[in-house]
Amino acid sequence: MLELALTFFVVAVLAGFFGLNGIAGLTMAIAKWLVLIFLALAVVSLLL
């Protein structure tokens, strides 16, 4: 999950570099949600 979030982050940075602000914003939002899901699942797995 974290690897996928990192991939979306790299795509967002590259899209921002090339001036594709809509795509950069969307991929950054997806990356943010994937990191939050990863952290929630990590906490749950540590507690159980």
What does the pLDDT read at residue 7?
92
Q: Provide the residue ranges of all domains of the chain, joining segments of one domain with +.
A: 2-47
CA proximity to 6, closest of 14, 43, 41: 14
How many angstroms separate the CA atoms of 29 and 12, rounded? 9
Structure confidence by residue, pLDDT tens digits, 2-44: 898 899 899 999 999 999 999 999 999 999 999 999 999 999 9
Tokens of 8: 């979306």
pTM confidence score:
0.81
Looking at residue 41, what is its pLDDT?
A: 94
For residue 14, the 8-state DSSP code is: H
Band of pLDDT at residue 1, cut at 50, 70 and 90: confident
Pair 15, 24: CB distance under 8 Å: yes
pLDDT higher for 46 or 1? 46
